[in-house]
């Protein structure tokens, strides 16, 4: 999914197994198995003494949210961004009303992981993806959560470019801290406002 949505592109080095396990909230064995599976399919290249890299981006038909990855690209970016702002405000407000302690703990773990990636845009974007999806999934409306995931994934090419600018990752991280504080307080207005500031 990270490759299909454009978070990881051909030539990108993967974070370590430990970092991926934290970012994706899975065990290291699951990460290792996934890497070996993708390497066997020729999608990843594993080299002794070097980081594993993305070899090709053709991963077949992968669903991100409710649509096939990149299906939303039939629309212009302005329309997608406007839709994202409208939908995410409601999804995030809904998440603030309904978020459970386990999801807050996951978001705090992801914040800790993000803090260690402030100098690495690719690693940050992996954590960023998981952070956003975790918030969307805290909403009880699964359709809107999946739709938000699609809209987020569409913006990936632009996020990669934006995160490569000096200081952009630190600003995004600070936004994430504010979002988690509003979610922890179960404050729908503050959460929606913090998210709007983050995505605006």
- Specify the pLDDT at position 70: 54
Instruction: Spell out the SS3 assignment of 136-184.
Output: HCCCCCHHHHHHHHHHHHHCHHHHHHHHCCCCHHHHHHHHHHHHHHHHH
Q: Report the relative pairing of strands 53-54 and 44-45 from DSSP bridges.
A: antiparallel
On average, the pLDDT of the chain sits at: 88
- Specify the pLDDT at position 62: 65
Per the structure block, which two tokens stand in for 153? 């994934």
* Residue 40 CA from chain centroid, whole number: 25
User: Residues 48-69: what's their mean pLDDT?
Assistant: 76
Report whether pLDDT(85) > 90: no
152 and 114 in contact (C-beta within 8 Å)? Answer: no
pLDDT confidence bin for 113, thresholds 50/70/90 = very high
């Amino acid at each position: 999914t990270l490759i299909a949505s454009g978070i990881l592109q051909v030539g990108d080095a993967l974070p370590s197994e430990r970092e991926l396990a934290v970012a994706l909230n899975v065990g290291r064995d699951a990460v290792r198995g996934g890497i070996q599976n993708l390497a066997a399919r020729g999608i990843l290249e594993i080299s002794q003494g070097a980081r594993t890299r993305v070899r090709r981006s053709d991963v077949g038909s992968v669903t991100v949210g409710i649509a096939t990855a990149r299906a939303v690209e039939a629309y212009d970016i302005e329309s997608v961004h406007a839709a994202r702002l409208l939908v995410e405000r409601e999804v995030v407000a809904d998440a603030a009303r309904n978020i459970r302690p386990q999801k807050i703990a996951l978001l705090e773990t992801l914040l800790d992981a993000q803090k260690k990636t402030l100098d690495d845009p690719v690693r940050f974007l992996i954590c960023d993806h998981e952070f956003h999806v975790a918030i969307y999934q805290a909403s009880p409306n699964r359709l809107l959560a999946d739709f938000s995931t699609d809209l987020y994934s569409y913006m990936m090419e632009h996020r990669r470019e934006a995160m490569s600018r000096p200081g952009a990752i630190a600003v995004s991280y600070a936004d994430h801290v504010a979002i988690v504080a509003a979610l922890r307080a179960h404050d729908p207005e503050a959460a929606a406002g913090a998210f709007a500031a983050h995505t605006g």
